[in-house]
Structures are given as C-alpha cells and as structure tokens.
C-alpha cells in the first residue's frame, strides 16, 4: 500500500451520502480498505438510515442525526471488537446507507387475464393495472434479506418481485370478492385498500411497506366489451320494432328520392334529345317539310308511401291503394295523422290533398243490403 493511499484512508473521517437519483434504495460508502477511523463523524440525513456491517455481521443501525463513532455510543460494536486508539486503527467495517423515503410511481399489472365468476355474466376474464409506492420500513431486515453485499441497490431490482406479490393477491381478492364486473369501477378504492392490507405481511418480511397502492383500471377482453357496447346501444334504442320500421321507412324514402332524381335526370336528357332531333328534322325538312313526331311522354311519378300515427305508436309504410282499403275497413279516418317523405310534420289525412279524395268516393251498398 502506498503512503498516499494510506494517508487518504486515515485522514478522511466524514461519512455521509447525498443521493441525486430517484431509484437508489441502498448505497455502500466506499472507504479505502474498509477502515473506519476512531472518532469519525457520521451524518445521516432525513429519509436515510445507516447500517454498520462488521466482518459480515450487522452491528448497528443509525437513524437521522450526527454521530461521533466512538465506543461510548456504539455498545453493540464494542461487544464485537475493542477499538484501538492508535493511528492505524484495526477496526474495519462497511457502512450501507438505506433510503427510507417513498418511491412513488411504480407500476403493476396482470400479465395474463384472471378468470373469475361474475353473478351477471358468468365466467369472465379480467385484466387490471395500477401504481404503488414502496418504502424501507426495517433497514436491517431489508439489508439482510434482499440487498446482501450489493454496493448499489435500486428499486428496479425488487419491483418485479413486488409486482408478482400484488398480482397474486389481486387474483385471490377479485375471485372471492363477489363484486359484479359493472360495479368494480365504483369499488377500486376499497379494492386497493384491501389489496394493500392483504400483502402487507408478505412485504414486511422483506423489511418493506407499501404506503400507497392504486387500482387504475379493471377491464374485460375486447370481445366482451364490444358485446356490452351492443347491449348498451340496444338499451338506448328502446323499442326495437319501432326502430326497425323507422329505418325501413328511411331507406324507402331514400330509394324513392334517388329514383325521382334519376327519373328527373332521364326526363331532362330525353327532352334535350327530342328538342335536338326536332331542330335537326326541321333543318333537314325545311320550313315546308313534314312535322316531326312528338316526344315520348314522361315516366309516371313515384308513388308515395305513408306512415300512420295513433295512440303514440307509428305504423307503416302503406301505399295509397292500401290506405284506400283501410278507409273502407275503418282503419283510416279523416282525423288520422299521416306522414310521408318530404312532408313538413304530421297532418290529418283529410288535410292532405292526395289522400282527401279517398274519403269522397264511397262504394255502393253491397248486394242484398235492405
């Protein structure tokens, strides 16, 4: 050993740790030859604890404060080895600083769906995820059970094990809770508290505790969610029969409108062609030639279909011929409200010019009537 290394190891008598990371849980103070000078100052800040390990055996745990490392304030260390007051101290030990603050924002989630029995849907598969925070509650136990001789221990090295514990307890809890799937969103806070309580004893064996645990979401498989969306849509629609008839009427109206537009376009094209042929014929025959043939008649108009409203219910669509039979059968009166595509709101049948004539023509009395 060089003289400079020896002197640097002997005259540095301040032991402390300033953490500038967000995930370091344990850090070992590096000392040349692991030699601790008699009377050295140990600074333990808030949110820290210092653990002394002497020859592989845990000696003392220091809470926040300023300490002079002497035999009078280290009774456990004194029982292990008498401290020499000489320049070359024979005392060699390791100092581990443990971060005792909360480490928030750690994530957990179910890797595979959890099978459980729902009182409404039967067997279902659930997924869940959330966040939690962890804190070292017992530095000595955490060092002996988890860290060992690791010089720098981070939260990533223990988070995987904690996630497994959370998922296992969540599976047991959700399977035996009996809460319907549709009500789980309203009970995530209570489920989170029950989950934290259920794993507290297991986590305590590692010297840890979970101050916070949140269940952010509990979801169903995509196929089940789509089926629930369809069921919700049916509930919004209400009367499925009335909705189907309305859709059919809308489709017929759109077809009729398209047919009317097509006929109008064809009629315009036919008139244009006829006028062109007439002008061409006149040009060829001259002013004293034979008169050209008249243009063909336009196509018949598209017949309307009608809907009837009575006692808050709609029926239809009906053709005009069917409405005529309904007049004779008593199913349509002058005060019956009717509607057709393009009409502005519901109107009484006798107020519609196209239907008013149905009530003016009365059939003759049947044969054999008195």
For residues 86-92, average pLDDT = 49
- pLDDT band for 132, please (50, 70, 90 cuts): very high
pLDDT the model gives residue 277: 57
**Within a domain: residue 296?**
no
Higher-confidence residue of 4 and 22: namely 22
Tokens of 153: 């221990």
Residue 149 sits in the same domain as residue 64: no
Tokens of 101: 């603050």
Residue 166 sits in the same domain as residue 128: yes
pLDDT digits (tens, 9 = 90+) for 20-33: 888 899 998 876 55
pTM of this prediction exceeds 0.75: no
pLDDT the model gives residue 278: 56
Residue 63 sits in the same domain as residue 178: no
pLDDT the model gives residue 349: 80
Residue 43 sits in the same domain as residue 124: no
Residue 94 sits in the same domain as residue 138: no
* Residue-number span of the structural domain to which 204 is assigned: 103-227
Tokens of 129: 């995820």
pLDDT the model gives residue 46: 93
**Whether pLDDT at 283 is above 80:** no
**Within a domain: residue 128?**
yes
24 to 19, 153, 164, 226, 304: CA distances (angstroms): 8, 6, 21, 44, 79
User: Strand 94-99's sheet: what is its strand order?
Assistant: 57-62, 48-54, 94-99, 24-29, 152-154
**Whether pLDDT at 134 is above 90:** yes
**Whether pLDDT at 287 is above 70:** no
Which residue has tokens 């032991």?
A: 15
Average pLDDT, the chain: 76
CATH number at residue 320: 3.30.1490
pLDDT the model gives residue 166: 92
**Within a domain: residue 199?**
yes
Residue 187 sits in the same domain as residue 129: yes
For residues 106-115, average pLDDT = 89
Interatomic CA distance for residues 172 and 16, integer angstroms: 44
**Within a domain: residue 161?**
yes
**Within a domain: residue 62?**
yes
User: CB count, 10 Å around CB of 121?
Assistant: 14
**Within a domain: residue 216?**
yes
pLDDT the model gives residue 20: 80
**Whether pLDDT at 288 is above 60:** no
Higher-confidence residue of 249 and 164: namely 164
Interatomic CA distance for residues 193 and 177, integer angstroms: 13
Residue 139 sits in the same domain as residue 37: no
Higher-confidence residue of 174 and 358: namely 174
Residue 213 sits in the same domain as residue 138: yes
For residues 237-259, average pLDDT = 68
pLDDT digits (tens, 9 = 90+) for 138-154: 999 999 888 887 888 88
Tokens of 244: 């189907």
**Whether pLDDT at 209 is above 90:** yes
**Within a domain: residue 275?**
no
Closest CA to 113 of 228, 231, 225: 225
Higher-confidence residue of 271 and 190: namely 190
Is there a contact between 173 and 233 (Cβ–Cβ < 8 Å)?
no
Residue 33 sits in the same domain as residue 85: yes
For residues 266-291, average pLDDT = 53
Higher-confidence residue of 129 and 259: namely 129
Lowest mean pLDDT among 173-177, 209-213, 254-258, 307-311: 254-258
- pLDDT band for 102, please (50, 70, 90 cuts): very high
Residue 39 sits in the same domain as residue 134: no
Which residue has tokens 């005792």?
A: 100
Task: Cis check for the bond before 260: say yes or no (omega within 30 of 0).
Answer: no
- pLDDT band for 273, please (50, 70, 90 cuts): low
pLDDT the model gives residue 150: 83
Torsion angle defined by CA atoms of residues 15, 17, 18 and 24, in that order, rounded to the nearest 10 degrees: 170
Residue 118 sits in the same domain as residue 195: yes
For residues 235-255, average pLDDT = 69
Residue 196 sits in the same domain as residue 210: yes
Higher-confidence residue of 180 and 13: namely 180
Q: Which residue(s) pair with 97 in the sheet?
A: 27, 50
pLDDT the model gives residue 10: 47
CATH number at residue 164: 3.30.479.30
- In the chain, the number of structural domains is 3
Interatomic CA distance for residues 282 and 50, integer angstroms: 115
pLDDT digits (tens, 9 = 90+) for 171-205: 898 888 888 888 888 888 888 999 999 999 999 99
């Amino acid at each position: 050993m060089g003289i400079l290394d020896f002197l640097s190891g002997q005259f540095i008598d301040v032991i402390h740790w300033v953490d500038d990371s967000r995930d370091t849980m344990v850090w070992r103070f590096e000392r040349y030859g692991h030699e601790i000078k008699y009377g050295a100052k140990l600074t333990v800040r808030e949110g820290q604890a210092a653990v002394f390990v002497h020859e592989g055996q845990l000696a003392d745990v220091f809470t926040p404060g300023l300490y002079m490392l002497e035999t009078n304030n280290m009774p456990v260390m004194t029982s292990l080895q008498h401290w020499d007051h000489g320049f070359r101290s024979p005392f060699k030990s390791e100092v581990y600083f443990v971060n005792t603050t909360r480490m928030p924002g750690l994530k957990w989630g179910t890797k595979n769906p959890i099978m459980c029995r729902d009182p409404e849907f039967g067997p279902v598969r659930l997924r869940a995820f959330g966040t939690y925070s962890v804190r070292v509650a017992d530095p000595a136990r955490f060092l002996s059970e988890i860290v060992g001789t690791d010089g720098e221990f981070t939260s990533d090295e223990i988070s995987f094990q904690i996630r497994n514990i959370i998922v296992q307890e969540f599976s047991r809890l959700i399977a035996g809770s009996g809460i319907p799937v549709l009500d789980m969103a309203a009970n995530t806070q209570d489920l989170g508290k029950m989950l934290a309580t259920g794993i507290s004893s297991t986590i305590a064996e590692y010297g840890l505790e979970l101050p916070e645990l949140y269940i952010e979401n509990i979801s169903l498989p995509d196929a089940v969610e789509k089926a629930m969306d369809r069921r919700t849509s049916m509930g919004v629609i209400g009367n499925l029969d009335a909705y189907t008839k309305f859709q059919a009427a809308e489709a017929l109206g759109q077809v009729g409108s398209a047919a009317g537009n097509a006929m109008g376009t064809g009629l315009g094209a036919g008139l244009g062609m006829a006028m062109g042929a007439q002008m061409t014929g006149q040009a060829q025959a001259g002013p004293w030639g034979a008169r050209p043939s008249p243009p063909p008649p336009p196509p018949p108009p598209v017949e309307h279909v009608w809907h009837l409203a009575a006692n808050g219910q709609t029926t239809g669509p009906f053709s005009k011929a069917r409405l005529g039979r309904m007049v004779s059968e008593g199913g349509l009166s002058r005060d019956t409200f009717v509607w057709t595509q393009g009409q502005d709101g519901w109107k009484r049948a006798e107020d519609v010019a196209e239907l008013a004539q149905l009530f003016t023509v009365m059939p003759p009395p049947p044969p054999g009537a008195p």
